Each structure stands twice: as structure tokens, then as C-alpha cells.
Amino acid sequence: MTDPRPKPLHYTTAPTAEDIAALAEQALAAIPARLRRHISNLAITIEDEADDETLAEMGLESAWELSGLYHGTPLGSRSVSDPARMPDLVTLYRLPILLEWIEEGEDLFRLVRNVLIHEIGHHFGLSDDDIDALEAGPD
């Protein structure tokens, strides 16, 4: 089995939205097929940072605090009688991701993957606490 992670990238300029999108697509491709089929209607978009309205909705004061956001109805909260809806959306915020990348020195692919997987967790109905517990592993 081949390693799905890209080779570490060395940037001479700040990674663009297209660079972040490519890393997100690589991370999506590595998700097991049995889970990937549940996110086939999930769109991913890249923005530089969250707008003031989004920050107010999230109760945040600074755009630097938000690296990703899930917009949609979690799978467990849906009903067959629901009206047709737009695809669920995960927004990755490029500038906060890049700031964390610079400050923490983490591999950019791993960072983008972690933010993306966190937001996909919300698509599956997991809370931030649930996701944190899963990331921490067994006690």
C-alpha cells in the first residue's frame, strides 16, 4: 500500500487557496471508502478568513481563532421528509491555517487534513468535545 501523504512541500511564497484546496483533496482521497461515501455531497471551499458575520455567529472575536467551519445539517439530524437542500459545506480558512503552520511548525498537509477531518466530524454529528476525545485516543 502506498503512503497517501504527499511529500513535504517547501514553499518560497505563502501557499495559495489553490495549494490548500489541493492538500484538502489529497486528504479526502485518503479517507476510507466506507466513510467517503457519506461525504460525497460535501463541498469544500477555501477562504482567507472568516467574515465578521460568521465570527459573530460563532461567538469569536478574531478571525485567527477559526481555521475551519462546517455548514450543514449533521447526518444524524436529517429526515427523509426534509426538503431538498444544498450540499453541506466545509470552509477552510487559509490565513489561520498558515499562521498555525508557521507558529507550530507542523507539516502543512497534516494540518489541513486535521482541520478537514475535524469539520467532517461535525458532518457526522460529533461535537467538538467528541472530536477532541477521539483525537486524544483511549484513556
DSSP per-residue string spanning 37-48: GGGTTEEEEEES
Is the domain defined by 17-73+86-136 classed in CATH 3.30.2010.20? yes
**Mean pLDDT, residues 59-86:** 78
Average pLDDT value for the chain = 82
Q: By the 8 A CB rule, do 15 and 98 touch?
A: yes
Give the three cell numbers for residue 106: 507542523
- Predicted pLDDT at 127: 80
Q: What is the pLDDT of residues 82-95, one digit of tens each?
A: 666 667 889 999 99
User: What pLDDT was estimated at residue 88?
Assistant: 85
pLDDT digits (tens, 9 = 90+) for 44-65: 999 999 999 999 999 999 999 9
Mean pLDDT to the nearest integer, 71-92: 71
Residues 6+ apart with CB under 8 A from 45: 89, 90, 91, 92
What pLDDT, on the 0 to 100 scale, is given for residue 4? 55
Torsion (CA) 105, 110, 114, 116 in degrees, nearest 10: 120
- The residue-averaged pLDDT of 4-18 equals 72
The confidence score (pLDDT) of residue 75 equals 61
pLDDT at 64: 95
95-138 per-position pLDDT tens digit: 999 999 999 988 999 999 999 988 888 877 778 787 777 666 55
The pLDDT, as a whole number, for residue 34 is: 78
